[in-house]
Amino acid sequence: MVSVVLIRSGSECVVTMPPGTRLADACLQRKPSPLPLGCRKGGCGTCLVRVVEGAPGPRTEREDDFFRRTAFDRPELRLGCQLWPHRSLVLEAVISRKEVL
C-alpha cells in the first residue's frame, strides 16, 4: 500500500491506497474528501497541491496543459487529480492561488 499525507489548513490526513490508484479516487472514498476536488480532469486547478516530500513521477499531459495556461507554474506544484502514486508522498493543498503567485 502507498500512503499519501495530505496537509490542508494545518491538519494532516493520511490516505492509503494500492500503488497506481488515482489519488482523487482514493480521496472520494472519504466524506468529506481530504483533497479539494472539482472537475477531476486537470482543468480547474481546485486540486492544486505542493509536493512537500516524495517523487510523484512526471506530469501528465493535462497537467502540462494546465500549468502552461496559468501563471503559477513551479516544479513542486501538481494537480492532485492527476496523480497515481506508486510511492508515499506528502502533499499540501494550495487553498488560495495567492499562496503560489
> Which residues are at the interface with ligand FES (CB under 6 A)?
37-40, 42-47, 79, 81
CB of residue 24 to ligand FES, shortest distance in Å: 7
In the bound complex, what is the minimum distance in angstroms from residue 82's beta carbon to ligand FES?
7
Between 1 and 71, name the residue whose CB sits nearer to ligand FES: 71
Nearer to ligand FES, 42 or 56 (CB): 42
Query: Is the CB of 44 or the CB of 100 nearer to ligand FES?
Result: 44
First to last CA, the chain: 34
**46 or 88: CB nearest ligand FES:** 46
Q: What is the 3-state secondary structure (H, E, C) of the chain?
A: CEEEEEEECCEEEEEEECCCCCHHHHHCCCCCCCCCCCCCCCCCCCCEEEEEECCCCCCCHHHHHHHHCCCCCCCCEEEHHHCCCCCCEEEEECCCHHHCC
Q: Residue 11 Cβ, how far from ligand FES at the closest point, in Å?
A: 20
Q: Which residue is nearest to ligand FES (CB)?
A: 81
